[in-house]
Amino acid sequence: MAAELERMKELVEKLNRASRAYYQEDREEMSNLEYDQLYEELENLERQTKVTLAGSPTVSVGYEALDELPKEAHESPMLSLDKTKDIETLRSFIGERRTLLSWKLDGLTIVLTYESGELLKAVTRGNGQVGEVITNNARVFTNLPLKIPYTGRLVLRGEAVITYEDFEKINEQMGEAQAQYKNPRNLCSGSVRQLNNEITAKRNVRFYGFALVSAPGMDFENSHEKEMEFLEAQGFQVVERRAVTGDTLDAAIEYFSQQVARNEVPSDGLVAVYDNISYGESLGATSKFPRNSFAFKWADEVQETTLKEMEWSPSRTGLINPVAIFEPVELEGTTVSRASVHNVSIVEELQLGIGDTIQVYKANMIIPQIAENLTKSGNLPIPKICPACKKETKVEQDKDVKVLRCANPQCPAKKIKSFTLFVSRDALNIEGLSEATLEKFIARGFLQDFADLFELGRYKDEIVEMEGFGQKSYDNLMENLEKARTTTLPRTLYGLGISGIGLANAKLICRHFDQDMEQILEASEEEICSIDGIGPALAGNLVAYFAISENVNLWRRLKVQLNIEAMAEPSDASLEGKVFVITGSLERFSNRKELKEWIESKGGKVTGTVTGKTNYLVNNNTASNSSKNKKARELGIPVISEEECMALADS
């Protein structure tokens, strides 16, 4: 069973990655034949194991927005654990009894209930007596089984967590929320308790079971270890554990303390629970703690050092985040010299000043933090000038904390997403300009608007000396910039980042206005709305964008740098008004992108999903039982081959 579940996890990840590549990035990671084979393998494994994992492409979980999260009382109180940082206290608790030692994950505790093999409800720990019902959010946890083999009423507890890697990525994207989410646990708590589970789905929340509450009819031989094995057989990921006694405790503690630095999910210690279920239950509980288990918290290693400087780092939303730079120290086996201070409130609370003697540690043995300021000079000035644009900054109240913000609406640091879109493949397609590189160029003042990209040669000496660059990288960048100068108007219009204007819409707009940007600048909402496929919202966004004089000036400056070629017009309109979806391997065309371009050249439209608006599904294997073929048959949509598609254009 374990091997089958591992294979299922591998297939879900591989198939979803291939789908993202195909539908969102317009590239192929695998042939459609291989996709369909893997899909069918996953379906067979789900039938065999009676487990369906969250995120499986074989199921679709709907998104739902709620006005509030309902409350529900727990069937049995959820007590806290007594805890210690002293290994001898833990050893005394364990004694000679077989005890399971496992991670104490740092997330949000959730109680799950399954009935008839399906997830019935999910409730947060809350205050231990009453929690919030987050069932629809739990359905989109990335690793949670939605269906399990056991058909009785199963109740278990576990921890919802977000990995360190996802925390960094999500916090980077969230912008304003950086003032709120300071660690993975806070981000996880906010993600799990969203009113709209579409947001939860994007946060990659994971669930790790740590305790079985009940599973009537099952015999676990009086062993918590057997309970955990049962949960694993149901498709749940459970916390890593080791069986110990007082005599073998040291080796296990050494293992976990070495492993914690490599963990992908945050842990703030360990949990010890007696393996013998009946013995543990016979001990009862105090008013606060159960007597069958104990928590062991990591004793933080604290080092003293000197604050050298405060680096103020502009973010994409205008927030300017303080990062402490101090004399390097050894913490938990690594050299540390930087720690995020997060916001102005913390700077003031710590009374930081350059030259202060500070104590630093690693939260959960991972994230460097300032524990205390011993000298508290309080002489650190809050910058009045933004390091990115040299314009005025201001301190603002954001919820319950003070943050520093750039007051310049045109600050280039705020435009990082715009630059990232502008250089992307469907826009100007400038290779060698990753988001990280763009941020470096913006921070150094090289880029104020899009036209500056084509003037980067002015900074040759500085770019060549930048970390990660060199003469060869610089030469490649210059070559790619020169190549990108020659482009089309739809690519450029799309690259401006006007809300709702995708590449397909940009093509429609540019074709209607004869590839003339001046006509687009002067067009009214009514005229733009008259374009088939362009609604009032998009028309309003386009007109509003160019109603701002700075945006018009941006276009004027950019136009000077570009050689805009006319977009190839459809050779005929034989497929005009027809919507196609392409799947399966191709014979006449080298790949789906080539067939897509051919269909568009005939006036047709290609989408990635079969819906009621689809006219034809193109698949050379018309008898296939692939998911797209099944959907097309359900909707009465013709499944045609390449040859039949080409014949449509000739008829």
d(CA 120, CA 388): 51
Whether 250 and 235 have beta carbons less than 8 Å apart is answered as no
Q: What share of the chain is helix, strand, coil (3-state, %, to 5)?
A: 40, 25, 40
- Tokens in use for 2? 């374990």
User: Residues 287, 289, 290, 291: is their CA dihedral positive or negative?
Assistant: negative
- Tokens in use for 458? 């002015």
What is the side-by-side strand order in the sheet with 267-274? 83-84, 293-297, 267-274, 99-105, 241-244
The torsion defined by the Cα of 431, 432, 438 and 441, in degrees rounded to 10, comes to -130
CA-to-CA dists, residue 639 to 128, 594, 598, 644, angstroms? 55, 19, 18, 9
Q: Is 596 a known active-site residue?
A: no
- Phi/psi for 598 (5° steps) reads -65, -45
Burial 573-588 (b: 16+ CB within 10 A, else e): eebeebbbbbbbebee
Q: What amino acid is encoded at 117 in this protein?
A: G
Put residue 78 in one of left, alpha, beta given phi > 0 → left and psi -120 to 50 → alpha: beta
> Exactly one of 14, 85, 104, 628 is catalytic; which is it?
104
DSSP symbol at 457: G
Whether 51 and 117 have beta carbons less than 8 Å apart is answered as no
Q: Is 324 exposed, middle or buried (0-12, 13-18, 19+ CB in 10 A)?
A: buried
Burial 444-478 (b: 16+ CB within 10 A, else e): eebbbbbbbbbebeebeeebeeeeebeeeebeebb
Residue 579 bridge partners (DSSP): 605
- Spatial neighbors of 548 by CB under 8 A, at least 6 apart, are none
d(CA 298, CA 152): 38
d(CA 544, CA 248): 70
Length of the chain: 651
- Tokens in use for 368? 């460097």
What are the DSSP calls for 329-356, one per residue?
EEETTEEEEEEE--SHHHHHHHT--TT-
Cβ atoms < 10 Å from Cβ of 217: 8
Q: Where are the alpha helices (DSSP H) in 485-626?
A: 489-495, 503-512, 517-522, 525-529, 536-546, 549-561, 592-601
Active-site amino acid positions = 104
